[in-house]
Structure 1
Amino acid sequence: MLGLLTAAALACSPPEGTSSLLDRPEPVIMIGELHGTAEAPHAVGEIACAAAERGPVVVALELEDTLQPTLDAFMAAPTVDTARATLDGSTLLNRAVQDGRTSVALLDLLARIHALKTAGRDITVHLFQPSSLTRDDGLDQAWYELNMGFLMGRARQTRPDARVIGLAGNIHARKTPIDRYPDLGVPAAGHLPARETLSLKIAQQGGFAWNCSADACGVNPSMASYDAQTRGVILTPPEDGGYDGVLALGPWTASPPMSGED
C-alpha cells in the first residue's frame, strides 16, 4: 500500500509544453496569476512535480515571509493530517482580507508539495511577500516591488542547485514597468537577473476567480482576452513584452479561502 501511495505522489500531470519549459536554461521560472483560481496553484504543483523529477526544486509563493516557520513545520510533518494541523491559529487561515492567495487550491498545492517531499523528492517552499515594508508606509509601490524582488531572489541564493518555480500576482511576476502605473516602477520579477529568469503570465480565458474588486472580496468573473481553446505553455512573449511567454489553463474556476469562508 505504501508503495502505491508513493507512486501516486510521484506521478506528475503538468500542462502541455512543460518539458520544453524545463529544458530552458533559466533556473528561475516565475508564473503570474490572478489570485483565487483553482487552476493556477494546481498547474504550479504539477510543473514543480515534473521539475522535481530532474533535480531539487524550490516552490516560491506570494505569502508573507513571517509565515516561513509555519510552512517549514508543515513540510516537516510526517503526514498530511499533521501537516494541516500546523496551520491552526496561523494567519494563513485567519485573515482580515481574503484576496484569493490563501485559497483551497493553495492548500492543495501545499499538500502536493508535502506529498512529493514525503515520497523522497528534494522540494521545499520559500515565501517572498514582504512583511517589513507595506504600501501603507507612504512609499511608492516601487519600494514594495524592490523588497519583494529581493525576497524572490533569496530562493535562488539559498538553493543555487535548485530550480525555482514561483507563483505571484501577475503584476509582480512581470519583468517590465507598466506605463499607466508610474508608482509601480520595476515589478518584483524585473529585479531578478534577466539571464536567469523566465516569466509566464497565466492567460485570461474567461471563467471566475475569488479575488477582491473595488466593492468586496469574493467570486468575480474574469474577462476572456485569450483564445479559450488554447492550452499549455506558449514560449512566445506577449505583445507588451512584460513576460517571456504564456501559460494557458482554460477558463478559470474560483477557489474559495481555505478558512472555509464563503
Structure 2
Amino acid sequence: MFELLAAALLSVQPPCAAPTGADALLARPESILVVGDNHGTVEIPAAFLAIVCEAARQGPVTVALEMPETERVLYRNAMAAPTEAAARNTFLYGAFGNPRSTDGRNSEAMLEMMLGFWRLKAAGHDIAIHPFMAVESRIQGRDQAWWELEMAYGISRALVSRPDARVLVFVGDLHARKIGYAFWPDVGVPAAGHLPAADTFTLHIARQGGGAWQCQQSCGPQTGHGRYDPDARGVILGPVEDGAYDGVLAVGPTTASPPAALQPATISSGSSS
C-alpha cells in the first residue's frame, strides 16, 4: 500500500517552489548546510521545507533539527507512517502535542514542515529526520558554550549515521553562527563554528520585520523590527557579519505561528492524503 501511495504521489508531486538562489546554494560542495531560524514564524519553516524539497530531488537528505534527541524513534515512526494523518498523530505524541511546549520550535508551521518531509518520503525520496538537541547537556554552573559544543556533536552524528546524505540543519540563528557574538559572551563558539569549516555552509535569517510566536516576558505573538532590506528575497550568498555566516536567507516580513498543541486538528484520523 505504501509503495502504491509513493508512486501516486511521485507522479503528481508539485514543484518545490524553492527560494530564489537555492540552486546556487545546493550546487555548493559542502555536506552540511545550516539554515538559521527565528523561531515561531510561518514563513521560515516553509522556506526551509522548500530548500529540503529541492535537495531531496537531487539525492539523499538528512534533516537535522533543533528538537529533543529523545524523539528520534518517534520521528522515525512518523516518517514511516502509512498516511499523512497517521504521521501527524505520531508527531503530536511528542513535543508538538505537549501544551507546555510553547516556544516557536513547536509551532503549527513547524509541524506542517515536518509533514512536508513525510510527503517527500512518501513520494519516494530518500529523506530522514535527525533531532539533535541533547536533553541533559548543560553542566551545572557552566555557561552556554558547553551547550553549543553538544549541539555541534549532535549535528555531526547526522552525517555519521548517513554519510552519503547531505545534511540540512535547521537551528536557531545564533547557533548557526561560525564565530562568537560579543552580545552573548557566554555562548563562546556557536554550534556551527565547531563543525569542520571546509564542510559547513551557513545561512543567516534576514530580520525584515513582522511577527513571531516567542516566549520573552510572556509567550505569544511578538513584533520585531526589520534590520535588513525589506524587499530582499531568497538565498543571497556571500560572507555576512565578518564571516559569521556564509550567506543570507530572506523571506520578507514574517507572521507568527502559534504552538501546534493549541491548534485544532486539521486532518481527520481517517485521512489518507
**TM-score, structure 1 length as denominator?**
0.94
Could you tell me which amino acid in structure 1 is paired with residue 87 of structure 2?
A
1:171 matched to which residue of 2? 174
Map residues 48-67 of structure 1 onto 2, 5 A cutoff.
48-67=52-71
2:256 matched to 1:254?
yes
Following TM superposition, by how much is the alpha carbon of 1:8 offset from its aligned partner in structure 2, in angstroms? 4.1
1:138 matched to which residue of 2? 141
Supply the distance in 2 between the matched residues of 1:95 and 1:249 (Cα, whole angstroms).
28
2:40 matched to 1:36?
yes
- Superposed CA deviations along residues 27-68 of structure 1, whole A, max 9, x for unmatched, are 111011110011111111110110111110011110010011
Q: Secondary structure at the match of 1:35?
A: coil
2:102 matched to which residue of 1? 98
Following TM superposition, by how much is the alpha carbon of 1:248 offset from its aligned partner in structure 2, in angstroms? 0.6
Which has the larger displacement, 172-181 or 73-82? 172-181
1:196 aligns with one of 183, 195, 199: 199
Q: Secondary structure at the match of 1:20?
A: helix
Could you tell me which amino acid in structure 2 is paired with residue 168 of structure 1?
V
Following TM superposition, by how much is the alpha carbon of 1:180 offset from its aligned partner in structure 2, in angstroms? 2.7
1:218 aligns with one of 208, 215, 220: 220
1:157 matched to which residue of 2? 160
Could you tell me which amino acid in structure 1 is paired with residue 23 of structure 2?
S
Supply the distance in 1 between the matched residues of 2:127 and 2:95 (Cα, whole angstroms).
23
Q: Secondary structure at the match of 2:105?
A: coil
Supply the distance in 1 between the matched residues of 2:120 and 2:94 (Cα, whole angstroms).
23
2:238 matched to which residue of 1? 236
Change (3 A) 1:88 1:231: closer
- Superposed CA deviations along residues 51-100 of structure 1, whole A, max 9, x for unmatched, are 11111001111001001111111001011011112134423311524110
Change (3 A) 1:30 1:83: same
Q: Secondary structure at the match of 2:171?
A: strand
Supply the distance in 1 between the matched residues of 2:106 and 2:125 (Cα, whole angstroms).
24
What percentage of aligned pairs have identical amino acids? 47
Supply the distance in 1 between the matched residues of 2:175 and 2:229 (Cα, whole angstroms).
24
Could you tell me which amino acid in structure 1 is paired with residue 184 of structure 2?
Y
- Superposed CA deviations along residues 99-141 of structure 1, whole A, max 9, x for unmatched, are 1001111111111110110110000101111112137x32210
Could you tell me which amino acid in structure 2 is paired with residue 199 of structure 1?
T
2:24 matched to which residue of 1? 20
Tell me, yes or no, if the aligned pair for 2:95 and 2:106 is still in contact at 8 Å: no
Supply the distance in 2 between the matched residues of 1:166 and 1:101 (Cα, whole angstroms).
14
| RMSD of aligned alpha carbons | 1.8
Change (3 A) 1:53 1:88: closer
Change (3 A) 1:58 1:10: farther
Aligned length: 260
Supply the distance in 2 between the matched residues of 1:229 and 1:32 (Cα, whole angstroms).
19
Supply the distance in 1 between the matched residues of 2:163 and 2:17 (Cα, whole angstroms).
26
Supply the distance in 2 between the matched residues of 1:116 and 1:88 (Cα, whole angstroms).
19
Could you tell me which amino acid in structure 2 is paired with residue 55 of structure 1?
G
Q: Which runs of 5+ in 1 are unaligned?
A: none
Q: Which runs of 5+ in 2 are unaligned?
A: 265-273
Map residues 80-99 of structure 1 onto 2, 5 A cutoff.
80-99=84-103
2:50 matched to which residue of 1? 46
Following TM superposition, by how much is the alpha carbon of 1:4 offset from its aligned partner in structure 2, in angstroms? 6.1
